[in-house]
């Protein structure tokens, strides 16, 4: 057998990504060795490259990036029972300790000792070969492509945020921001039965795609627009004040809008991560009983995301705007970072495209 070569996208520091040979890991007893197929670029990946980390997670040594991934099992640890060589899987990057009270309550996304792929200092999956715990790998049915497997990660964020917001049949939902997380929130909200979904953004081309994937109403806003005028336009388009707002930008003006536009007694779910401190109309939220909730990553959301894709309820492939090969990862990150070519989701292929797509091809 020819010796395997493992090329990885390694971030050494701010604006310093290099394509390098990295060691091929050996799976532990509970892990599988994967030949990675597809990896989508997430905003947090871009932030590690542009800022050297995020929050308390600071890059202190070179790290392989990437966590929205799918792959094929090519080796198993001796304790692996469910998966076998040849299985196509999606990888959930969140790994809890499994023993703390939060993990036992099913909230492993908040585990203080948990780890997350491509969150410093944990290596990510943008490489040819990667190991991952068996219980964090989800076998893909034959009708689900490897690209869709990678998209389960952002879709899981949408599932989690919509669950926290309690989106249900007949809900009216305002989504602030038409980036990748805003887009998956649209898809999931409609799949969960939302009757009206309105999306606002600065960029019309993104709003056009939002309309294609199911948004009922879109509103392009401009920097400097008055809050009251935007709120009136939202209510006019929807014919009501939304029951729920899902804030996907982290930008202070949008968080303010979410609070101001939401119906009395409604819910604002904050998903986008922005500045630590913001000037928000908290008293207005209080007297209107607008409940402010937050959603961080996800927990127990992959099965629902996979089911929605597998049964055809959701088609997330429209979100993929750009494709790159692994060796072109530097250019791929540039495209995602600066939104070149109206980029929404940039997909990197670590294997020849469609190599592991037995049924549906993109």
Give the pairing type, strands 172-176 and 244-247: parallel
116 has which bridge partners? 94
Both structure tokens of 125: 């999956």
Whether residues 134 and 162 share a domain: the answer is no
Query: pLDDT-derived band of residue 273, with 50, 70 and 90 as boundaries?
Result: confident
Q: How many domains in the chain?
A: 2
Whether residues 110 and 184 share a domain: the answer is no
Query: pLDDT-derived band of residue 275, with 50, 70 and 90 as boundaries?
Result: confident
145-198 pLDDT, tens digit per residue, is 999 999 999 999 999 999 999 999 999 999 999 999 999 999 999 999 999 999
Whether residues 325 and 236 share a domain: the answer is no
- Domain contains 151: no
42-89 pLDDT, tens digit per residue, is 999 999 999 998 878 899 999 999 999 999 999 999 999 999 999 999
Q: Which domain holds residue 252?
A: 158-294
Residue 1, pLDDT above cutoff 70:
no
User: What integer pLDDT is reported at residue 144 of this predicted model?
Assistant: 97
221-245 pLDDT, tens digit per residue, is 999 999 999 999 999 999 999 999 9
83-98 pLDDT, tens digit per residue, is 999 999 999 999 999 9
User: What integer pLDDT is reported at residue 359 of this predicted model?
Assistant: 54
- Domain contains 358: no
- Domain contains 300: no
- Would residue 214 be called left, alpha or beta, if left means φ above 0 and alpha means ψ between -120 and 50 degrees? left
Whether residues 28 and 135 share a domain: the answer is yes
For residue 118, the domain's CATH number is 3.90.180.10
Average pLDDT over every residue of 299-308:
98
- What whole-number distance in Å separates Cα of residue 222 and Cα of residue 245? 19
User: What integer pLDDT is reported at residue 274 of this predicted model?
Assistant: 86
> Can you say how many angstroms the Cα of residue 23 is from the centroid of all Cα atoms in its chain?
27
Across 212-216, 342-346, 357-361, least confident range = 357-361
Whether residues 14 and 132 share a domain: the answer is yes
């Amino acid at each position: 057998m020819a010796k395997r070569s493992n090329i990885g996208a390694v971030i050494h520091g701010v604006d310093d990504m290099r394509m390098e040979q990295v060691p091929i890991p050996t799976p532990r007893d509970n892990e599988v060795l994967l030949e990675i197929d597809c990896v989508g670029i997430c905003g947090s990946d871009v932030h590690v490259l542009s800022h050297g980390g995020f929050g308390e997670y600071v890059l202190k040594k070179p790290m392989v990036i990437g966590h929205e991934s799918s792959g094929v099992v090519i080796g198993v640890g001796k304790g692996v029972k469910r998966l076998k060589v040849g299985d196509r899987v999606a990888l959930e990057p969140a790994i809890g300790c499994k023993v703390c009270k939060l993990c036992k309550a099913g909230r492993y996304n908040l585990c203080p000792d948990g780890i997350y792929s491509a969150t410093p200092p944990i290596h990510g999956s943008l490489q040819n070969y990667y190991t991952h715990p068996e219980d964090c790998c989800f076998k893909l049915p034959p009708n689900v492509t490897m690209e869709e497997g990678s998209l389960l990660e952002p879709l899981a964020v949408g599932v989690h945020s919509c669950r926290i917001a309690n989106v249900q049949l007949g809900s009216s939902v305002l989504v602030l921001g038409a980036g990748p997380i805003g887009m998956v929130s649209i898809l999931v909200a409609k799949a969960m039965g939302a009757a009206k979904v309105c999306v606002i953004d600065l960029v019309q081309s993104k709003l056009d795609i939002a309309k294609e994937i199911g948004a009922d109403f879109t509103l392009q806003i401009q920097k400097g627009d008055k809050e009251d005028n935007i709120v009136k336009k939202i209510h006019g388009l929807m014919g009501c004040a939304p029951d729920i707002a899902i804030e996907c930008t982290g930008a202070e003006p949008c968080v303010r809008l979410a609070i101001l536009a939401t119906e009395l007694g409604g819910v604002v779910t904050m998903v986008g991560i922005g500045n630590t401190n913001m000037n928000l109309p908290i008293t207005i939220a209080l007297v209107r009983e607008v409940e402010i909730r937050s959603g961080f990553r996800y927990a127990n959301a992959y099965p629902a995301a996979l089911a929605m894709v597998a049964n055809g309820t959701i088609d997330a492939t429209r979100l993929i705007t750009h494709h790159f090969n692994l060796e072109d990862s530097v250019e791929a990150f540039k495209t995602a970072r600066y939104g070149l070519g109206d980029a929404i989701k940039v997909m990197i292929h670590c294997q020849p495209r469609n190599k592991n797509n037995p049924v549906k091809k993109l």
